[in-house]
Structure formats: structure tokens, C-alpha cells
Chain A
Amino acid sequence: MAGPTFVPAVFYKDPMAAIEWLQRVFQFEVAALITDPQGKLAHSELTFRGGGLNVGGEWEGAIVGPARMRSPATVEGINTQFVRIHMDEGIDAHCEHARAQGANVTDGPEDQFYGSRTYRVVDPEGHVWNFSQDVGVVSGEEIEKATGLKIHTSLEAARS
């Protein structure tokens, strides 16, 4: 089976603890976990309902040029991404499980004006997780009317 096209990578000060947390709280599954001779994490691949995720430790090196991979816990909570997880069903039960396991649920579950039900979690090192499930079909015109925003199908259309 072909793998997912997009696979986000998230970095932690303690990636082994993060993997344990992601399994216990979000019910992610470990598909591959590679360690070095000292037992430190070298590479990991997690899956959830057909999606994929890499979890790693903080690192830097020539192959990423000037970039430095850091946990939000190292940079005062700063994030440069969310990870959004789309669910076909069961978002409320998933949230209840996460909350029961001690997750910091910062928002929801709540129906959104664009036809999704969402909830958000900030994990122990500060990464933001955004779970969503479709609960209705809302047209672009309805969203524009409700928000005053304009929806375009390309950057060129947005510029014109």
C-alpha cells in the first residue's frame, strides 16, 4: 500500500517520552523505531488512521543547512506548525480519551462554521495538535457570507 503523501516531522527534547505519550493519549501506533547503540532514538515512524508522522529528537546538521530542529519547549513555546489530523468518525470519544489521559485540551470539541468539528491539544513539550471531523457541508458562499473573507481557488485569483 502506498504511504501518505505528506508526513510531518515533529521534534522533542525527549522523543522517546513523546512517542509513549502519543501512543497512550492519541492512540498513535509505532510502525518503525530505530535506535543507536546507546539506545537513543535515531528514527521513528508513527501511524494513525492511514496518516503518518515522524518523531525525532532535537538536531542540526549539514543536510538541513542553517535549520535547527527544536522542540517548542526549547524555544519558549514557539511553534512553526500545527499538525492537523482528519478523522472520519469518533472525534468526541477520541477527545474524551485524550482528556482522561491528561491531555491539555485547549479548545473544543466544537462545531466550526466551515463544517468541521475540531478540538486542539498542546502536548507536554508544546506542539499543537488539531483534530477535525466533517459534520456538515458548507458552501464557499456561505463561509464568505458568515466571515467576510474571500475564498479563492488559486493565488492568482486571490491577487486579481
Chain B
Amino acid sequence: MSAPAPRPSVVPLLWYDKPREAIAWLETALGFESQMVVGGDEGASSIPS
């Protein structure tokens, strides 16, 4: 995990039907890195960088 970047002041929070699959796609396809993943499949949320 890379060091957390300075917190931006405006951040979109996106909602998915399958959030873990979405997080994986964002990492592999767009190069995002997860800083934090909380909860199970139903309620997973993350802070990407």
C-alpha cells in the first residue's frame, strides 16, 4: 500500500451493485489503489487513491 495522499476536499462516492468487483476493476483497469476497504460483500466501501 502506498502512503495516503493528502485528502482532497471534494470526492465522489460511487455506489455499485457489486462493490468488490467494482473495486477490483478500478484497480486493474484504471490503476486505482485501495487505501481502505471496510465491510463485507453487501456493504463494502473503499477509499481509493
Contact = CB atoms under 8 A, between A and B. Distances in A.
Interface in B1-38: 1, 5, 7-15, 20, 23-24, 27, 33-38
A159 B1 CA distance: 15
Interface string A20-55: 000000000000000000000000000011111100
A4 B8 contact: yes
Contacts of B11: 6, 8, 51, 83-86
Interface residues of A, number: 31
A48 B39 contact: no
Contacts of A157: 37
B7 A86 contact: yes
Contacts of B27: 155
Interface of A: 4-8, 48-53, 79-87, 130, 149-155, 157-159
Given A82-B12, A149-B39, 9 more contacts: A5-B5, A79-B15, A81-B15, A84-B10, A151-B37, A153-B1, A153-B34, A154-B1, A155-B23
